[in-house]
Structure 1
Amino acid sequence: MLILPVLAAVGASSGWATGIVLAQWPARQLGAFEFTRIQLFACSAILAALVSLLGYWTTIEWAYWPAFIASTVIGIVLGNLAMIECLRRGGPRRTELILSLKAPLVGVMAYVWLNETPGLNNIIGAAIALFGVGLAVFFGSDERSESDRTTGSLAIIIVLGITATAFQGFGFLVVKPAMQAGTDPLAVSALRLLGAAFLISVVALWPAKSFQPKAFVTPYLLGRTILPGFIGYGVSSTLLLYAFSSLDAGIAAVLGSLSPVLILPILWLKEGLIPRFQAIAGAFLAVAGTSMILLL
């Protein structure tokens, strides 16, 4: 196993754990749509400039354009809208715990596309992962924590999280052949973000109330919105795309799903509250289950 792709996937997990904690406050202020729109515009501009400076546009294999479109629409636009709404309602810990199911979902997709069937270890691993996520989501909350307070139905939070997980996993997996054909992961990230920014700008022309910002965008709020977006879209997504291009999709997904474990010490440092035992146990079970599915 190559060390750089492994470190890239773990680095992606660290970035997402940090970014999602930073994103909760601005996401609640702006609403899911406006928060996502600002992030996509800012991050696509930054990555496009960087790819142009490095000359990576020439690496894009345009024969895979349907995969790029599918990854953009499903993986970024729909997946991230669902994720941000899940974050607003359920907080960063619950969101990351549900997103840890990305590994088994990606594994199922890979099995389907490769005409493979899961073995007993896959089934047992999925059960462990689901139990771990359920344990942490249903019994691991801590209402002393501002980040742990929920808004609305827990069932809706879970549905939003699973939807986001499936869509994002599909978005990464579908562009793997393009990267294996030589497309640079940074160029893929920039292309996906530019497409998503264009789509969301078109949708924003519809004068619906749900598409309007819930708060006035101050320079401070703008900066707090762009920072986690760059960490997530720019850094973490590119790192995981690189891992997907160099490793088995399942292994990359497992290593990119360590955020539930990494987010616990971040919240501990941020709020000074030791996570409850159920949260710690559920996080480790979720990662252990996904590891069993795809590493054994």
Structure 2
Amino acid sequence: MLLLPVAAAVGASLGWASGIVLAQQPARRLGAFEFTRIQLTACAALVSLLSAGLGYWSAIPWHHWPSFLLSAVFGILAGNLAMIECLRRGGPRRTELLLALRGPVVALMAYLWFGETLNLWDVAGGLIVISGIWLSVQFSGPETSRSDRVSGSLGIVVLLGLFAVVSQGFGFLVVKPAMAEGMPPLAVSAVRLLGAAFLISIIGLWPAEAFRPGEKLTPSLLGRTILPGFIGYVVSSSLLLYAFANFHAGLAAVLGSLSPVLVLPILWVREGRAPAPRAVFGAVAAIVGTAIIVLT
């Protein structure tokens, strides 16, 4: 029955779009470092328990530990810190649009790293994604919602988003050989999250001003911090894995990349302000470009 995997892939996109909207306020209040530390610690514990319950730890090829370490440092720790700071400065719509660059960036990195071929459609799709994101991110006007207002330089927001995309793409590709040996995706997530949570906890012991929370942590703020991480790391990732296992991988990837579009109605409902036409056009162009890349 195709309805369930299709619904799972769209549900994954909806989860990521919802999670990034929910994450903006606690991330601004706590700061990128403290917000990321709490999310990584909580989600690493949860995913590790799930992996243990499913018996996945025995399936981990530990001779790939250098790849796991690099993936944790760059793909999870550095990538998430950059993504959360991008969210704090640029808002959820711009962050989701910039993250849509993962398709062309990972395709280019796979071509340079593994020799995976890029055809004309791949290049065309990448250019469409980049063009749509540039049009949507570059221009803003008085119709911009509260969540979309830029704090500081727009150039810094774009650089943070690009760094997050490259880091996360590298983190995925570096563990590809381990996954090719049959390592379960949930076990990959557990190892990466545990490594990143351990590293950020050690770094947090350094009494630097940048590592201090922006305000005192309360039970309410703690819950609002963990919730979007649970939605993204556990719920959405599991839904997309189910879709990949039971549906055409290319179509599942497209349906799982709808978050730049789905974040627009979520912000509309939350703030009562319709999205600007440029925002809609840029988001749709990003999805069209992604579809061209994965389906050709």
Q: CA deviation at 1:145?
A: 1.9
Contact 2:261 2:280 in 1 (8 A): yes
- Which secondary structure state, in structure 2, belongs to the residue aligned with residue 282 of structure 1? helix
Greater Cα offset, 20-29 or 174-183: 174-183
Report 1:16-165 matches (<5 A): 16-140=16-140, 145-165=145-165
Q: What secondary structure, in the 3-state scheme, does the structure 2 residue paired with 1:225 have?
A: helix
CA deviation after TM superposition for structure 1 residue 206, in Å:
1.2
Give the Cα–Cα distance (whole angstroms) in 2 for the partners of residues 211 and 181 of structure 1.
Answer: 38
Aligned length: 295
Q: Which runs of 5+ in 2 are unaligned?
A: none
Structure 1 counterpart SS, 2:213: coil
Whole-Å separation in 2 of the counterparts to 1:251 and 1:67: 29
Confirm or deny: 8 A CA contact 1:254 1:291 kept in the other structure. Answer: yes
SS at match of 1:168: helix
Alignment partners' CA distance in 2, 1:249 and 1:204: 39
Contact 1:97 1:286 (8 Å CA) reproduced: yes
Cα distance in 1, alignment partners of residues 64 and 241 from structure 2: 15
Greater CA drift, 29-38 or 40-49: 40-49
Residue-by-residue CA offset, 1:164-192 (whole Å, 9 max, x unaligned): 01111222233233233222222221111
Contact 1:99 1:257 survives alignment (8 Å): no
Counterparts of 2:12 and 2:141, CA distance in 1: 25
- 1:250 deviates by 7.4
The CA distance in 1 between the partners of 2:4 and 2:158, in whole Å, is: 33
Query: Bigger CA drift: 179-188 or 69-78?
Result: 179-188
Tell me the residue number matched to 2:224: 224
**3-state SS, counterpart of residue 118 of structure 2:** coil
Alpha carbons of structure 1 residues 109 and 12: separation in structure 2 relative to 1, 3 Å: farther
Q: Residues of 1 paired with 2:48 and 2:91: CA distance?
A: 31
In structure 1, C-alpha distance between the alignment counterparts of 2:191 and 2:49, rounded to whole Å: 12
State the partner residue of 2:292.
292
Q: Distance in 1 between matches of 2:110 and 2:241?
A: 15
Amino acid at match of 1:67: S
CA distance in 2, matches of 1:171, 1:141: 36
Verify the 8 A CA contact 1:173 1:244 in the aligned structure 2: no
Alignment CA distance shift 1:174-1:242 (3 Å): farther
Structure 1 window deviating more from structure 2 (180-189 vs 161-170): it is 180-189
Please state whether the residue corresponding to 2:207 is helix, strand or coil: coil
Deviates more, 1:24-33 or 1:10-19: 10-19
- 2:233 is matched by which residue type in structure 1? Y
Counterpart residue type for residue 161 of structure 1: G
